[in-house]
Amino acid sequence: MEIFSKHGTERAVDWEAAGLRWLGQAQDDGGARVAEVVSAEGERLVIERISESSPDRSIACDFGARLARTHQAGAEAYGAGPAGWEGSGLQGPAGNQLELPLNHHSNWGSMWAQERIAPLVRKVEDYGAHERGVFGELCALLREGNFDGSYGEGAIPARVHGDLWAGNVLWTESEAVLIDPTPYGGHPEDDLAALALFGAPHLDDIIQGYQQVSPLDKGWEDRVELHQLHLLLLHAVLFGADYARQALKVARKYI
């Protein structure tokens, strides 16, 4: 096996390894392939090196089906991290990571409002009282379960990758491989919306394969931007005004 080494803080190494292993547990049940962790010691993470190729439609469709099975593996609660993980996780690029709250909630909307939107809105320097009020209105609707669909109280949360933009899916000649997770118990649309955010290849085929295994809730297309809001706000905190304006525009759309 060829290997790839990464370096970071000890906590960052442990967090990434825990996420890869947690997602990888679903592989035996037909879940998406995940880069194998060779070792995670101190400030060095070693994973298998993936030989990349260009994706085609059939591989994309297969990936969608496998991603659905990964989601079906479930999580302890909405907002929960990998089994056995204690404390907050990490989000954002290496060397510039923020805390990722992993508090437990009984429904998706409550988690999305309190752990993904509100903490980041407080960190966006471009927002004043009016802008924060817009997000406050949206968070109230989320907490009430207005956007939960099948992922309200009593439903099993999806085991999501959490940062599934196109760069965190590596394509080989035969399959897609997941890397760099920010995992938690969430909503399947969190991952699918992330794939759409920066243009994953053959996205329509990925969605088609996904729905063959796990049909999405009615109206999912209308909620894509809502499920992108976490990543938009994270980018607003890290990279500034353009993303802040985009996230605010999205928030207004749903209130």
Catalytic residues: 163
Helices (runs of H) and strands (runs of E) counted in the chain:
9, 10
- Name the residue with tokens 């290997």: 3
Contacts of the segment 135-144: beta carbons below 8 A, 24+ positions apart: 135/248, 135/251, 137/255, 138/113, 138/251, 138/254, 138/255, 139/113, 139/114, 140/113, 141/109, 141/254, 141/255, 142/109, 142/110, 142/112, 142/113, 142/117, 143/109, 143/110, 143/113, 143/114, 144/109
Task: Output DSSP code: residue 203.
Answer: H
Question: Is 207:64 a contact under the CB 8 Å cutoff?
Answer: yes
**Parallel, antiparallel or unpaired: strands 33-34 and 98-100:** unpaired
Question: Is 169:199 a contact under the CB 8 Å cutoff?
Answer: no
CA dist list (Å): 226 to 21, 53, 81, 90, 193: 28, 32, 21, 21, 8
Q: Which of 104, 85, 105 is nearest to 153 (CA)?
A: 105
